[in-house]
Amino acid sequence: MMNLPWPGAVVAGIGTIVAGIGVLYTVSKIGKLRKKQQLRKKWDSIGKDVVLLHQFQRGKYCVNLSPFAIKVETYLRLAKIKYEVDSNSPFGPKKKCPWITLNGEDVGDSEMVIQKLSQHFDVNLDSHLDEVTQAQLEAVRVMADEFVFWIVIAWRYWLDGCVTFLKSQSFPPFLNRAFPYMMTSTIKKRSINQGVGVHSPEEIYQMAKKSCGTLSTILGDSPYFGGDQPSTADCAIFGQLAQLMWNAPGSQYEALVRELYPSLGNYCNRMKDTIFPDWNKLLNPPLE
Ligand SMILES: N[C@@H](CCC(=O)N[C@@H](CS)C(=O)NCC(=O)O)C(=O)O
């Protein structure tokens, strides 16, 4: 007959296991808290009025996979605001990328960030534009940020299963394999909830084509959407178009800006050359 342990011994054993789990949990919590405190100290010591831009790591051909990160970085450069980049904590107070820390304060959401920067540094990139043009550009900005964005990510992460996109990133091999699992079904569900995802792949592509046609018509012969000089809306529009231009290599989405509407491709290159003269050096790995 089997020798069963005394009930007291069983209870003591369970107690030890539970206590062990409790200790491990507390140690990990303390570790996380300490790491957070160290990061906080580092972020806050960057210097007065220096912006710390938290964003994803750089890509192979494009300075970021997030259009909103490019938008904020473009704004910082146009506004001549001193900044540094942190790629270790890309998700901020709103659990989105990018976000900034300025003088110890964290701000999330690219629009809120730009609003904060414009007020704090007293910058207005749109003073050369009349009120109506500013309003029209705001409508174009919303189209880029809230519509073109969804089309591109629905294609990138779901319809294309991350295949084309991953060619443009320098992720470690394990992440290359994990990315489709992490992203495809999530983005499918989220695009369906948003609305773009209820359409067929061809319909989604046609929507991208129509948007590019619209943007190309609005740009016309001007060098920038803001006319002779870039405006706040240019930061957002460039961020979104840069995804087609550099983060969709060899695809029909890339062809939209490089072949079908080359004025948009030329615009992307113009923004890159004037605002990011160090673009190639920023890439991961840097391009000589
Ligand atoms: N409205 C936000 C959008 C930011 C956003 O959606 N960022 C994406 C990366 S491109 C993100 O962080 N996604 C993570 C998620 O939604 O869970 C902004 O303007 O900053």
Q: Name all domains of the chain by residue range, CATH numbers in brackets.
A: 51-120 (3.40.30.10), 131-282 (1.20.1050.10)
98 CA: nearest ligand 1 atom: 20
- Which helix H or strand E contains 268, and what residues bound it? helix 262-275
Q: CA 145, CA 111: separation in Å to the nearest integer?
A: 10
pLDDT tens readout for residues 184-207: 999 999 999 999 999 999 999 999
Q: Which of 87, 95, 96 to mutate to test the pocket of ligand 1 (most atoms within 8 A of CB)?
A: 96
**pLDDT score recorded for residue 28:** 87
96 CA: nearest ligand 1 atom: 12
Mean pLDDT, residues 11-36: 87
* Residue 3, pLDDT above cutoff 70: no
Closest CA to 141 of 116, 114, 101, 165: 114
65 CA: nearest ligand 1 atom: 10
Cβ(271)–Cβ(230) under 8 Å? yes
Cβ(65)–Cβ(55) under 8 Å? no
Residue closest via CA to ligand 1's atom 11 equals 96
* DSSP 8-state secondary structure symbol assigned to residue 96: -
99 CA: nearest ligand 1 atom: 20
Lining residues, ligand 1, CB within 6 Å: 66, 68, 96-97, 109-111
> With bands split at pLDDT 50, 70 and 90, how would you rate the model's confidence at 7?
confident
Would you say the C-alpha torsion 156, 162, 166, 169 has a positive or negative sign?
positive
What are 199's two structure tokens?
């359409």
